[in-house]
């Protein structure tokens, strides 16, 4: 079973009726509450899918605060810290809490248990604050030591919640939500019915959300597949009776569940205030041993940090100045504490060595705005010499939103600065195209090798898009080379604006560009190319007489056994096909890396029995040598097996794999035998007009397709699959059926070129 981590609640399957609003007084009607919570759920789902985009996160954060403040009260700061560390995990916790809240009434939970369950769900992953970013954000498989680091977050969660004086009922739910119902996961203290009911419910909702949400290391699964896996682990990891009841939850009226959820979170809880018995400071009396031990750990950590750490209050008065700050500045802690942290105190200067005024103090700005400040400055160091530092000012905010000061981190980069600047300048000069400021051909070749190796290692898909401005020579000849350069710059800017930060845009040569799309399926890459194509066609160029330009695109995806060279050649073939088919379009080739092994027949000699399913003659206006080269592309991309080859004849074995990707009940993979006989002939077109007059060479390919196994002939889909193979063959050869010749097919009309 996958580790627990993220789920849209049952209510979130409902279509939101309107835009979200702010939390209002209890006087709001039920319809308004339903609209608010439905819109919130939709915003969280969108933010989880685009967690790297700040606009999505800010939109989600304002909505999350509406519910978190109501539900957590004084503990909202824990959730805010988790959101600052990893927004997808915070959104996951809120979705799990809403999912548990929707399920609770159907389980007849009393109010006290339901309160504990909701708060436990909101805080159950807060320990991920302590997981290093390199582990939390890693897209590939974790190493054993990284798995151990990730596994610590459950214990960290319990430690954090204990230190924050979370009620015992909440702590119990969080602690035992990791226990397996059947035991065997290292937590043998409780199992079966001894695990609290709320903890067993949280475990199920948590796992379901993890499976149905996109992660950096795998895409989301369907709801049906996630439910099937819950049933697979029922009795071992999960309570089987609760899994059945959770499955029944999706048969309920989702509109009614959403209405009940909105009434509770945006009406009842707002009116009642904080219903949980949070332990007050006076009531919480930790042992002196634990308190002293925690203080000793904190002091040891801060004092032994190489970086400077400074704490200031809301008036920028220094209350802590660690050993790292002393070493960096040459100023002792006794001399610094009690003074106001201002730029003139440390002789702070900007990137161009201009003095930073006290009115522009980054620390004061962070405290006044509540927004972190990160930048490179210089300050006076030991012996009066300037030291380059990365200054990070982090506002310290309480649960009620009040800012009490800031934490300042000072990282010494003086030894790196000059070398870093030279390396950056050199890399920009070597790796970028001077006209468009995107990567050049050499950088693309280097990154293509890295992309392919990294994605093959992690078993993730990456796509390649090759694009070319249509009729570019005519642009140069008609409007001049300067207009052509402006068209190239516009196209490059559009490519950069449309692509993600992890993608690579490169000028491959002249007016041709390439895009490497990391962790991207061929369907997603084709949609991106189509969006770029449409956007380019809508841009008017004043240097071209207020006309627009178009481009053609070839898209492919990394396939099993690919090398950087084979992937690039396949994308080039797709681009040539797009141009040959009329330009200004997107053509994709390739099926991706995730292929299932097809079971071979136990009888290897059942070849060419019975009549052919498809029999026709294809004609392509190229010499036979060129047709053979194009045929090699079909063989490579279809993973075809060459059975027999003679002087001008070829027999292939091709397995149709489309049924593997779109498997339905009764669907199966089928293997076909394709017989091709090639011949070349000269054609005179004396009756043609203008440039068409002359003698031409064309290649004729007599094509026969039949199933490898005779019994496959009885399936309805067999002829369709044979026709699809013919259409693919025609696309690769850029061929048409011979004029006047009908396609022989058992039950279906002629095939159209794709």
Active-site amino acid positions: 511
Q: CB of 533 within 8 A of CB of 551?
A: yes
DSSP letters, 131-147, are S-HHHHT--SPPPHHHH
* Cα-based torsion angle of the residue sequence 235, 238, 241, 242 in order, rounded to the nearest 10 degrees: 180
SS3 assignment, position 484: helix
Closest CA to 340 of 355, 318, 311: 318
Please compute, for residue 650, the number of CA atoms within 13 A of its CA located in the half-sphere on the CB side: 19
The CA distance from 504 to 519, in Å, is 12
The CA distance from 121 to 684, in Å, is 78
- Parallel/antiparallel/unpaired status of strands 318-321 and 504-509: unpaired
Which contacts (CB < 8 Å, 24+ apart) does range 162-166 have? Answer: 163/294, 164/75, 164/78, 165/278, 165/279, 165/280, 165/281, 165/283, 165/284, 166/75, 166/119, 166/123, 166/278, 166/279
Exposed, middle or buried by CB within 10 Å (0-12, 13-18, 19+), for 469? buried
Strand partners, 360: none
- Parallel/antiparallel/unpaired status of strands 586-589 and 736-737: unpaired
Name the packing angle between helices 54-72 and 111-123 (round to 10°).
Answer: 150
The CA distance from 729 to 737, in Å, is 11
* Cα-based torsion angle of the residue sequence 224, 229, 232, 235 in order, rounded to the nearest 10 degrees: -110
């Amino acid at each position: 079973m996958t580790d627990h981590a993220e789920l849209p609640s049952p209510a979130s399957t409902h279509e939101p009726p309107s835009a979200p609003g702010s939390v209002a007084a209890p006087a709001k009607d039920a319809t308004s509450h339903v609209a608010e919570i439905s819109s919130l759920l939709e915003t969280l789902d969108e933010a989880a899918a685009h967690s790297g985009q700040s606009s999505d996160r800010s939109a989600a954060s304002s909505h999350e605060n509406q519910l978190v403040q109501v539900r957590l009260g004084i503990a909202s700061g824990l959730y805010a810290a988790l959101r600052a560390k990893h927004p997808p995990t915070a959104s996951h916790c809120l979705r799990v809490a809403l999912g548990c809240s929707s399920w609770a009434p159907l389980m007849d939970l009393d109010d006290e248990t339901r309160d504990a369950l909701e708060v436990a769900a909101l805080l159950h992953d807060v320990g991920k604050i302590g997981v290093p970013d390199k582990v939390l954000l890693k897209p590939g498989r974790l190493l054993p030591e990284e798995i151990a680091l990730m596994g610590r977050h459950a214990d960290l969660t319990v430690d954090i919640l204990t230190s924050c004086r979370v009620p015992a009922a909440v702590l119990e739910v969080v602690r035992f939500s990791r226990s397996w119902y059947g035991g065997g996961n290292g937590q043998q203290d409780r199992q079966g019915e001894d695990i609290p009911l709320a903890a067993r419910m949280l475990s199920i909702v948590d796992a379901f959300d993890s499976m149905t949400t996109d992660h950096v290391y795998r895409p989301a699964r369907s709801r049906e597949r996630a439910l099937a896996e819950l049933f697979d682990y029922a009795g071992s990891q999960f309570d089987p009776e609760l899994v059945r009841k959770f499955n029944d939850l999706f048969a309920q009226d989702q509109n009614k569940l959403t209405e009940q959820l909105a009434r509770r979170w945006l009406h009842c809880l707002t009116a009642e205030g904080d219903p949980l018995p949070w332990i007050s400071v006076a009531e919480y009396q930790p042992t002196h041993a634990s308190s002293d031990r925690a203080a000793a750990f904190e002091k040891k950590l801060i004092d032994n940090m190489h970086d400077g750490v400074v704490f200031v209050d809301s008036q920028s008065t220094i209350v802590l100045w660690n050993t790292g700050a002393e070493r960096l500045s040459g100023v002792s802690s006794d001399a610094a504490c009690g003074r106001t942290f201002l730029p003139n105190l440390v002789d702070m200067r900007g990137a161009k060595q201009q003095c930073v005024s006290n009115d522009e103090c980054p620390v004061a700005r962070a405290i006044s705005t509540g927004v972190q400040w990160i930048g490179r400055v210089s300050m006076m160091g030991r012996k009066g010499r300037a030291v380059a530092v990365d200054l990070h000012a982090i506002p310290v905010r309480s649960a009620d939103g009040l800012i009490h000061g800031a934490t300042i981190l000072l990282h010494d980069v003086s030894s790196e600065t000059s070398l870093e600047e030279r390396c950056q300048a050199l890399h920009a000069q070597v790796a970028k195209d001077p006209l468009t400021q995107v990567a050049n051909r050499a950088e693309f070749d280097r990154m293509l090798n890295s992309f392919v190796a990294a994605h093959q290692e992690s078993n993730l898909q990456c796509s390649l898009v090759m694009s070319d401005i249509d009729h570019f020579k005519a642009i140069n000849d008609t409007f001049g080379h300067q207009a052509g350069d402006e068209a190239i710059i516009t196209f490059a800017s559009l490519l950069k604006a449309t692509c993600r930060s992890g993608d690579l845009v490169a000028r491959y040569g002249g007016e041709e560009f390439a895009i490497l799309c990391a962790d991207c399926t061929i369907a997603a890459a084709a949609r991106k190319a189509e969006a770029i194509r449409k956007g380019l066609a809508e841009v008017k160029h004043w240097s071209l007489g207020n006309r627009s330009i178009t481009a053609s695109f070839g898209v492919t995806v990394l396939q099993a056994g690919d090398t950087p060279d084979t992937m690039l050649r396949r994308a080039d073939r797709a681009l040539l096909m797009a141009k040959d088919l009329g330009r200004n379009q997107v053509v994709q080739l390739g099926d991706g890396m995730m292929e299932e092994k097809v079971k071979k027949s136990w009888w290897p000699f059942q070849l060419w029995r019975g009549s052919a399913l498809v029999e026709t003659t294809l004609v392509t206006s190229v010499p036979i040598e060129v047709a053979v080269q194009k045929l090699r592309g079909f063989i490579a991309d279809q993973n075809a097996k060459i059975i027999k080859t003679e002087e001008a004849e070829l027999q292939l074995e091709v397995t149709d794999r489309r049924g593997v990707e779109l498997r339905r009940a009764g669907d199966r993979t089928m293997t076909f035998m394709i017989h091709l006989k090639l011949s070349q002939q000269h054609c005179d077109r004396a009756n043609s007009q203008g440039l068409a007059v002359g003698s031409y060479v064309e290649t004729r390919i007599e094509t026969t397709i039949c199933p490898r196994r005779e019994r496959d002939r009885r399936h309805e889909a067999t002829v369709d699959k044979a026709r699809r193979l013919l259409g693919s063959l025609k696309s690769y050869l850029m061929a048409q059926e011979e004029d006047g010749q009908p396609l022989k097919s058992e039950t279906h009309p002629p095939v159209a070129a794709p």
